[in-house]
Amino acid sequence: MSPETSVSPALISDLSQIVGDQYVIWRSGDLLVYEYDGSIDKATPQAVVLPATAEEVAEVVKIANKHGAYIVARGAGTSLSGGAVPLRDSVVIALTRLTDLVEVDAENRVAIVEPGMINLHLSQQVSHLGLFYAPDPASQKTCTIGGNIGENAGGPHCLALGVTTNHVLGLEVVLADGSLTWFGGTERESTGYDLRGAFVGSEGTLGIVTKIAVRLLPKPETTHTMLAAFTTMDGASNTVSEIIAAGMVPSALEMMDRKTIDAVEPFYHPGYPDEAEAVLIVEVDGLKEAVEEQTETVLAICNKNGAMEIREAEDEETRAKLWETRKGAIGAYGTIAPTYYLVDGVVPRTKLREVLQQVDQIAAELDITVANVFHAGDGNIHPAILFNDRNPEEVKQAILAGAKILEACVAAGGALSGEHGIGIEKQAYMPLVFNEEDLKAMARLRTAFIGESPADAPIAVPSLGERFNPGKVFPGGAVHGEAYGITPESFRPTGTHDWQ
Amino acid sequence: MSHSLDGFTPTSVENPETLEGLSNSLAKIHGASLSAVPWGGGTRIGVGNVPSGYDVAIDLSSFTGEIEHEPGDMTVIANAGVTIGRLNNVLAAEGQRLAFEVGNPANATVGGSVASNAPGHRQSSTGGIRDWVIGMQTVLADGTVTKSGGRVVKNVQGYEMHRLNTGAFGTLGVISQVAFKLLPLPAEQQTIIAWFDEHDTAREVGMRFVNGLFMPEAITLVSGPAANKVISASGESAPAERTYALMARVGGGIRAVERQVNEVVGAIGAQGAIGYAVLSDDATAHAWNELDGVVYTAGLAVRFISRTSVALNAALDIESHPAIIDAGSVSSIVDLGFGSSTITATPPDDETVLRVARIIREKLSEKPGSYVIEKCPLNVKQDMDVFSDVGSSIDLMRRIKAEYDPTNTLNPGRFAGKI
Ligand SMILES: Cc1cc2nc3c(=O)[nH]c(=O)nc-3n(C[C@H](O)[C@H](O)[C@H](O)COP(=O)(O)OP(=O)(O)OC[C@H]3O[C@@H](n4cnc5c(N)ncnc54)[C@H](O)[C@@H]3O)c2cc1C
């Protein structure tokens, strides 16, 4: 079989005219890396284009329209929900060549960046001005700010500072018809509907971001990091609740369980106590006096809840050491099993213990390994289901476990996702939280964005709504685990847990 | 409450108390092809263009229901008709508060504040309302009940319709219920007020904090008669000349507050303020309320949002315009943390207000940013869009309106671009 024949030569030739031959990828071997993201789903795109400017992105969208092709924007491809997996023979627009820092206004703490800029690079490039960009996904060394917009990404320090949407001032977007427009600007609030707020977290289904105006923050005077080991998960969970109840919002409040400790030990040799069942990282920052006051409170609560060991860091180097295991945890799961499926659910902070116990039960029932490393402060859990993707039975069990865990989260009054998005993974679960009217109302937004198909459009033009990133977010779009033989009927949770 | 607005008096008033009642009211209005204006406490009902139709007032002040406060999760869910003041009282009993402030909390409701994206002083540090809305229920024009978001502090599940409806002035649906993320009440709060005879000095001191060690809870640079008012309200005697008052409210633990006060006072002293005062609790409340009062009593109030330096320059530019100076007492209130300036004037008659409004609009249109005329007489509304131009995204906004309210039932013509 010659895979090249499935590609329309006219499409490739049109795309090459816009970006140049070397930036159009279409040979099957070259497409492999674009089949995946950070999730367990995959699909092969028709072609991948790497434009260099916003104008080129706009032209590429017009070409795709002309050929009736679906479009998927892609940043670094680290999405954990299948957000960047190109379904339905899409043309992938990879934004990795748009990496410029367009403007920094230190006096007003505003930056404008291109979507392909790596998250961490922004903070590095404004560091000499005493500023930083707050949203810090654990993947920040690789993920792009465009991808962060797509998923409304969070991170350890989003507890006090808020997630991506709270830091975005404006977006330059290529719409479905290939036109370029700005949503918002560089001011905190703009006239008219909050299109930037509607766009952030829309998972690439409404358009393609080509510039992003963000807020920067001044670096805090003092930062104090504490790491406490507990003999029980309960001790750690109670500590989390009591810190929140004490009327403080630390800058980060992260937890790791025993399995995660086991996974990181051989990599980083942190030497956590053998009896530790949970490790908590608490960071407070701000004025020296405020940090001192909060540190005292946190230490007292940790001790009260039976912390067996507490480590503290004032300086950057020690701090990096304390964070190392947390930041490297997901990578370290490779020592336990070949593949991980990182579930992202949210529960009310008061229900953390209860839901984590249910996660344990689900793992036991399905005889599957689950490790936990998560944003405890905001109740955002990340059970990592560890399995062997070469064993179809294990894959099924993993997906079933994910579904059950998410159902437990929403049943506890929580959410299907805190930061990884719905993507392919959770679209079938959306009815757990939203009824048909809710979903219809959301779909109307997409219709408004995508508009009517032009009268002279080729027959193949995607139906209304689904031009960008088809098969995502809305139920019925795609099947999570299809590549592993999962069918739509396999696991479709049936309950409803209306959050109201 | 009279439900007249911009020369219109509705033929009927609906007072729904339940979700079903609200949905039925809307279905009825929609079925009869009438147009409706939702009302909360009416504190910001005047913000917006002249309606293109107004048959029914939907008064939500009785739509209060239960307040669901989860102190352990620092979230609350409240119905549209609950006042911000009452909600904060409930939250305060557990040591928590809404992250945002609004003017006139005793009357302002949850629904009206969210729909009109009401500004407040704490936005210096915590930003606008939209950053604290985590979930929402709305009733569409035809009576369909929908929701988005969730009740947990962090959630990305589907499109954030709650962001779209925040600040949409009830043109896409009637907000019936909102879920908010909360903040703890600080142990201590203090306000420092300092006054300067040079604008640039006051500005420099203020900006140093905003971009430096810490962001005060609220930080505002006030000029014109409003400055004299807040100085007097603080129990100090205001200078006779034009003066610039810098107000900073700081909060936190006892030691942190002490440090912040010391930093602010130190900076003020070093820069040669004419005078300053550290205010008691009562004086603090009084001074900030006085500032809000300046806006309520003004004949004209325009709020411009931009990068802080642009907002500052715009205020200065407008205040020093000869025709505006002639027209009557002009003040500006610049939020240095948020980046907004509210320019107020009290011209003697409507004709002068219109002249001043035109100059302000012209000046602001030249600058990057957004503005809204928050307060003005009817003749100004009849002359211009009270919202700044939204630029190239206007077509998309019209399509959004058409998707959610194709019959133009809700607040027709009142929004940006006369949507
Ligand atoms: C080890 C690891 C740790 C992680 N930790 C975190 C974490 O702590 N917090 C967190 O929130 N996430 C985390 N993630 C998930 C992931 O990194 C984030 O979702 C990130 O925002 C994705 O960025 P990306 O550049 O890889 O985007 P991609 O995966 O390429 O794309 C993500 C989505 O955004 C869309 N998109 C991309 N670019 C654009 C654009 N220019 N315009 C419009 N849409 C676009 C895509 O279509 C897709 O739907 C982690 C992932 C990994 C692998």
Residue B276 β-bridge partners: B194
Position B124 pLDDT exceeds 70: yes
CB neighbour list of residue B259: distance below 8 Å, 6 or more residues apart: A287, A288, A289, A290
Query: Is B212 domain-assigned?
Result: yes
A171 CB near ligand 1 (under 6 Å)? no
Asked which of A165, A198, A218 is the last residue of a domain, the reply is A218
Q: Which of residues 184-203 of A touch B (CB under 8 A)?
A: 185-195, 197-198, 200-202
Q: Is the domain of A179 the same as that of A212?
A: yes
* CA dihedral sign, ordered A483, A488, A490, A495: positive
- Average per-residue pLDDT for chain B: 95
Residue A403 Cα, ligand 1 centroid: separation in angstroms? Answer: 21
B67 touches chain A (CB under 8 A): no
Structure tokens at A499: 């959050």
B306 touches chain A (CB under 8 A): yes
Distance from CA of A284 to the nearest CA of B (A): 13
CB B73 within 8 A of CB B87: no
Query: Is B413 domain-assigned?
Result: no
Q: Is the domain of B108 the same as that of B201?
A: no
What pLDDT is stored for residue A165 in this prediction? 97
Q: Which of residues 224-283 of A touch B (CB under 8 A)?
A: 241, 244-245, 247-249
Q: How far apart are CA A373 and CA A343, in angstroms?
A: 11
Q: Which of B70, B207, B400 sits opposite A350 (nearest CB)?
A: B70
What pLDDT is stored for residue A458 in this prediction? 52
Q: For each of chain A's 500 residues, which pLDDT tens digit applies?
A: 334 446 889 999 999 999 999 999 999 999 999 999 999 999 999 999 999 999 999 999 999 988 989 999 999 999 999 999 999 999 999 999 999 999 999 999 999 999 999 999 999 999 999 999 999 999 999 999 999 999 999 999 999 999 999 999 999 999 999 999 999 999 999 999 999 999 999 999 999 999 999 999 999 999 999 999 999 999 999 999 999 999 999 999 999 999 999 999 999 999 999 999 999 999 999 999 999 999 999 999 999 999 999 999 989 999 999 999 999 999 999 989 999 999 999 999 999 999 999 999 999 999 999 999 999 999 999 999 999 999 989 999 999 999 999 999 999 999 999 999 999 999 999 999 999 999 999 999 999 999 766 555 554 455 567 889 999 999 987 889 888 888 877 766 767 777 66
Distance from CA of B36 to the nearest CA of A (A): 19
A143 CB near ligand 1 (under 6 Å)? yes
Query: Is B148 domain-assigned?
Result: yes
CB B244 within 8 A of CB B195: yes
Give the domain CATH number at A191.
3.30.465.10
The helix/strand/coil state of A155 is coil
A446 touches chain B (CB under 8 A): yes
Position B238 pLDDT exceeds 90: no
Q: Is the domain of A110 the same as that of A90?
A: no
Query: Is A64 domain-assigned?
Result: yes
The letter for the amino acid at B390 is V
A346 touches chain B (CB under 8 A): yes
The helix/strand/coil state of A278 is strand
Q: Is the domain of A285 the same as that of A331?
A: yes
Query: Is A250 domain-assigned?
Result: yes
Distance from CA of A419 to the nearest CA of B (A): 6
Q: Which atom of ligand 1 approaches the CA of A74 most closely? A: 30
A152 CB near ligand 1 (under 6 Å)? no
Residue A110 and residue B307: Cβ atoms within 8 Å?
Answer: yes
Q: Report the domain count for chain A.
A: 3
B301 touches chain A (CB under 8 A): no
Q: Is the domain of A234 the same as that of A328?
A: yes
Could you read off the pLDDT of B102-115 as tens digits, one per residue? Answer: 999 999 999 999 99
Q: Which of A244, A418, A446 sits opposite B154 (nearest CB)?
A: A418
The single residue listed with the structure tokens 């530790």 is: A276
Q: Is the domain of B180 the same as that of B193?
A: no
Q: Is the domain of B92 the same as that of B208?
A: no
Residue B118 β-bridge partners: none
Give the domain CATH number at A331.
3.30.70.2190
Nearest CA in chain B to A451: B399
Query: Is B392 domain-assigned?
Result: no
Give the domain CATH number at B283.
3.40.462.40
Q: How far apart are CA B19 and CA B21, in angstroms?
A: 5
A464 touches chain B (CB under 8 A): no
Residue A189 and residue B117: Cβ atoms within 8 Å?
Answer: yes
Residue B1's pLDDT band (cuts 50, 70, 90): low
Supply the ipTM of this predicted assembly: 0.97
Query: Is B300 domain-assigned?
Result: yes
CB B234 within 8 A of CB B277: yes
Residue A201 and residue B153: Cβ atoms within 8 Å?
Answer: no
Residue A280 belongs to domain spanning? 220-336
Residue B350 belongs to domain spanning? 188-382
Position B279 pLDDT exceeds 90: yes
Q: Which atom of ligand 1 approaches the CA of A331 most closely? A: 1
Asked which of A284, A314, A336 is the last residue of a domain, the reply is A336
Report the range of poorest mean pLDDT among A230-234, A491-495, B67-71, B85-89. A491-495
Q: Is the domain of B142 the same as that of B202?
A: no
A154 CB near ligand 1 (under 6 Å)? yes
What pLDDT is stored for residue A455 in this prediction? 57
Interface mutation vs chain A, best among B152, B180, B310, most A CBs within 10 Å: B152
A86 CB near ligand 1 (under 6 Å)? no
Residue A106 and residue B211: Cβ atoms within 8 Å?
Answer: yes
What pLDDT is stored for residue A5 in this prediction? 43
What pLDDT is stored for residue A478 in this prediction? 83
Chain A residue numbers touching B135 (CB-CB < 8 A):
499
Strand B218-223 to B244-252 pairing: antiparallel
Query: Is A480 domain-assigned?
Result: no
Q: Is the domain of B145 the same as that of B240?
A: no
Could you read off the pLDDT of B11-20 as tens digits, one per residue? Answer: 999 999 999 9
What pLDDT is stored for residue A2 in this prediction? 39
Residue B212's pLDDT band (cuts 50, 70, 90): confident
Which of A34, A78, A281 best tests ligand 1's pocket when mutated (most atoms within 8 Å of CB)?
A: A78
Q: How far apart are CA A218 and CA A228, in angstroms?
A: 28
Backbone angles phi, psi at A298, to 5 degrees: -60, -45
Q: Is the domain of B101 the same as that of B23?
A: yes
Question: H/E element holding B223?
Answer: strand B218-223
Q: Is the domain of B119 the same as that of B222?
A: no
Q: How far apart are CA A473 and CA B161, in angstroms?
A: 14
Distance from CA of A198 to the nearest CA of B (A): 5
Asked which of A295, A319, A336 is the last residue of a domain, the reply is A336
Q: Report the domain count for chain B.
A: 2
- Per-residue DSSP letter, A6: G
Residue B369 and residue A187: Cβ atoms within 8 Å?
Answer: yes
Q: Is the domain of B203 the same as that of B327?
A: yes
Q: Which of A187, A192, A294 sits opposite B393 (nearest CB)?
A: A192
